[in-house]
């Protein structure tokens, strides 16, 4: 028994030494954790829209771009959002979109604009109907059209767009635009 305990402690010390030796001196615990936590690993665990929303709710904080980055609007990549653990509506939406897409669920980011209002959600399809993830909440609208989705977000919406990330940079491709 004592040999097994000694072996366990030796193993733990070797791992700790190697971790400290090979990681940069300024690596935080969160950065170390993030290196082992990839979007692929998460997608394997987060198979449903509810699982994605629950993960967002438990692990991320809402933070406006101005406060976080000092700019009015910045869309983080899902990997960057996973690292910073905070962002605004489009960051939550892009992350949810990416995880759902990896699981074969048809999804897109939906932007809705009104008078002095803009909001992004992740819309996903089930049985040909529209539902959404808004931050850490799943709303099963079972909507037949995107106008119904827009009205559920803001009854006074003026325009909306369906977008998906495009290319390696954080540009988006507008697939559809709606106006009232």
7 has a pLDDT exceeding 80: no
Q: Does the 38-179 domain belong in CATH 3.40.50.2300?
A: no
Q: How confident is the model over 92-103, as pLDDT tens digits?
A: 999 999 999 999
Name the nearest CA neighbour of 112 among 103, 104, 121: 121
Dihedral sign computed on CA atoms, order 29, 77, 105, 40? negative
Which residues share a beta bridge with 59?
none
The reported pTM is: 0.79
**What value does the mean pLDDT take over residues 53-81?**
95
Q: How confident is the model over 93-131, as pLDDT tens digits?
A: 999 999 999 999 999 999 999 998 999 999 999 999 999
Q: How confident is the model over 169-178, as pLDDT tens digits?
A: 678 899 999 9
Domain chopping of the chain, boundaries: 1-36, 38-179
């Amino acid at each position: 028994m004592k040999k097994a305990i000694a072996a366990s402690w030796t193993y733990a010390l070797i791992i700790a030494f190697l971790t400290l030796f090979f990681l940069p001196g300024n690596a935080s615990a969160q950065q170390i954790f993030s290196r082992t936590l990839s979007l692929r690993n998460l997608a394997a665990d987060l198979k449903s829209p509810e699982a994605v929303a629950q993960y967002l709710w438990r692990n991320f904080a809402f933070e406006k771009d101005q406060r976080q980055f000092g700019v009015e609007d910045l869309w983080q990549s899902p990997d960057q959002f996973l690292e910073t653990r905070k962002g605004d509506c489009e960051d939550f939406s892009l992350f949810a979109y990416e995880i759902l897409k990896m699981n074969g669920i048809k999804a897109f980011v939906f932007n809705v604009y009104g008078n002095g209002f803009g909001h992004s959600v992740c819309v996903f399809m089930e049985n040909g109907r529209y539902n959404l993830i808004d931050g850490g909440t799943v709303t099963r609208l079972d909507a037949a059209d995107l106008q119904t989705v827009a009205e559920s977000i803001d009854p006074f919406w003026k325009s909306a767009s369906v977008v998906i990330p495009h290319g390696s940079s954080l540009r988006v491709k507008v697939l559809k635009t709606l106006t009232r």
